[in-house]
Amino acid sequence: MGNRSNSPRPPSPHAALALGVVFAAALCLGSCGGNGGSAAPGGTTPSGAASPSVDPGILGLWIDDRARLLQIFPDGTYATFAMNTADEELRRQEITVNERGEPVMPSVLRDAGWVVEDGKLTAWRLVQKKEGLERVAARSYRHLAAEEWRHYRQTAAVRFVRHGDLDEIVAAEASGIDFAQLGFDALAVAAEHGRREILDHLVDRGLDLAASGAAAAAMARGDAALLAHVLDLGFPLQQVLPTAEADRGSYGDDVWALLIERGYRFGDAVPVPVLGASHPRAGSLLVERGIYTDRRLLSAVAAAGRTDLIDKVLADHPMLAERPDLLYSTGVVAAIETGQLTALEKLVALGAPLDQRFGQQSTLTRAVAAGHTDVVGYLLAAGLDPNQADGRNRTPLDAAIAADCAPAVFELLFEKGAEPAARHLVAIDRAMKVNQATVKALFEQRLGR
C-alpha cells in the first residue's frame, strides 16, 4: 500500500503516561528472524537496502492524542495508523539498516519511545506514576500487552475487511494473522459492507460460512443479489432467518422473493409483512406456488397487478366476495396506492366499492396523494366527488398540493369541478417545490387573477 499523508505526531507525556503500555520486542540481528531462524544481515528491503532481522506482526503500541499501532512486516517495512480517527490514516514505510547492519531508527519509532541498543530495536514501557500501579504493571506486563495487541490487531483486521482491502488482508494472513481466530465475524462484516470479493477470499481460506452472520447481514442490507451470492457460496438456505420474529419481514420484497424462489420452507406461518402490499413479488409467489394461503395476500397480488392471482385468492377465500368492505380495505387500497389500474378495475368488477374511507383518507384523496394520474382519472370518471373532504377535512386539491402532484392531476380535478380557493395559493407556496410555478399559474387562472 502506498504512503499516505499525515505522518504520526510524537506522543504527549501526559497521554503516554495515561495508558502505561509496554512491549519489549528484541529484534536481534541473526537470532530472531521472521522465519524462525537466523536472518541474514544481507537481506534487503524493497528499496535494496539491507533488511534488519524482525519478527512479523504487531510489535508496538503507543499513545499520543490518538491511539496508534505499529506493525512490522517480513519484507522490512512497517505500518502505523491511528485507531480512532475518521480517516484512519495508514502509512507504510521501510525500516532501513546502517552500514553495520543495525536498524536505523525512524523518527516515528524514536518519538514513540523505541530505541536501538546493541543492534536491537527495543520498546520501553511507560507506566503511570501512581501508588501500586507500577508494581502491578511490572508483574503482569506481558499478559496486559498481549491483550492490547489482540484488541488492536482485531481492530485493524475489521478495518481491512470493512474497507474491502484484499491486499492488506492477504498481507496480514502472510504475517500470521488468522481471521478465524480474531474474535469477530469477518464474514458478517464483509457482507454488512457488501464486500463480495472479501467474502469469496475468506471462504476460500476456510472460514465457516454456515456459522457466520453473513446471510443475516446481507438481509439487513435488503440486498437480494448479495444474499444470493452468500447462498451460492454454500450458506444453508434454512439458516438464513434470525430467530426473533420481530426481526422478520423488514428485509424488503426482493429478499423475500429470492428466498421463496430458492425454496425456503416457512413452517407454520409466514411473517405478516410478507402478506401485504409492501411485498408484491413475494406475496404473489406464495399464492402462485400454493405455498401459503391467507386473505391478506389479496393486498400483495393487487399491488403486483396480478389479476389472475386475485381470482385465486378469492377462490381460496370466498368470504372476501361476500364482504365488500374487505375487498376495499385489502385489495382496492393496495391497487390505488401502487397505481395498479387493471387490478383496481378487476376488484370493482368483483363488487368492491369505491366511495369508501380507509383510516382518515377517502378513495380520491388517497389516489391523489399516491400521484397516479390514470387511477385519479378512473376514479373521477366513476363519479367520485372532486370536492369531498376526507376524515382530516382535506379535499383532493389539498391532498394534491401536499403531495406536490404533477399539473395533470390538478387539470383532471378542475375538469370534474374541483373548486380552488385563495388559501390554496398560500399552501402551494409553502408545500410545493417541483411543480410550484405551473400549478400556481393554473390556480390563478381559475381564480381570475
The sheet carrying 90-94 orders its strands as 57-63, 67-72, 77-82, 90-94
- The residue ranking higher by pLDDT, 39 or 172, is 172
Query: Is the per-residue pLDDT at 92 higher than 60?
Result: no
* 223 touches 246 (CB < 8 A): no
> What is the per-residue pLDDT for 79?
55
> What is the per-residue pLDDT for 359?
86
**Single-letter code of the amino acid located at 33:** G
Q: State the burial class of residue 423 (Cβ atoms within 10 Å of its Cβ: 0-12, 13-18, 19+).
A: exposed
Confidence bin at 428 (pLDDT 50/70/90): very high
Query: Is the per-residue pLDDT at 31 higher than 70?
Result: no
- Residue 159's H or E segment, with its range, is helix 141-162
CA distance 245 to 177: 37
> What is the per-residue pLDDT for 116?
54
> What is the per-residue pLDDT for 251?
83
- The residue ranking higher by pLDDT, 441 or 114, is 441
> What is the per-residue pLDDT for 403?
95
Confidence bin at 158 (pLDDT 50/70/90): confident
Q: What is the share, in percent, of the chain residues with pLDDT greater than 70?
A: 64
Q: State the burial class of residue 11 (Cβ atoms within 10 Å of its Cβ: 0-12, 13-18, 19+).
A: buried
Query: Is the per-residue pLDDT at 273 higher than 80?
Result: no
Instruction: Give the count of beta carbons closer than 10 Å to the beta carbon of residue 89.
Output: 16
Query: Is the per-residue pLDDT at 17 higher than 50?
Result: no
The full set of domain ranges for the chain reads: 13-139
Least confident of 127-136, 151-160, 259-268, 384-393: 127-136
In this prediction the pTM is: 0.66
* 54 touches 76 (CB < 8 A): yes
Least confident of 165-169, 175-179, 205-209: 175-179
Q: What is the 3-state secondary structure (H, E, C) of 38-106?
A: CCCCCCECCCCCECCCCCCEEEEEEECCCEEEEEECCCCEEEEEECCCCCCCEEEEECCECCCCCECCC
> What is the per-residue pLDDT for 101?
63
* 344 touches 298 (CB < 8 A): no
Least confident of 53-62, 149-158, 178-187, 422-431: 53-62
* Phi/psi of residue 114, nearest 5 degrees: -90, 145
Confidence bin at 228 (pLDDT 50/70/90): very high
Mean per-residue pLDDT over the chain, rounded: 74
Query: Is the per-residue pLDDT at 281 higher than 90?
Result: yes
Which residues are 362's β-sheet partners?
357
Query: Is the per-residue pLDDT at 134 higher than 50?
Result: no
CA distance 355 to 362: 7
Strands 114-117, 90-94: pairing is: unpaired
> What is the per-residue pLDDT for 70?
53
CA distance 320 to 287: 16
Confidence bin at 241 (pLDDT 50/70/90): confident
Mean pLDDT for the stretch of residues 121-138: 37
Mean pLDDT for the stretch of residues 353-358: 90
CA distance 335 to 73: 62
Query: Is the per-residue pLDDT at 136 higher than 80?
Result: no
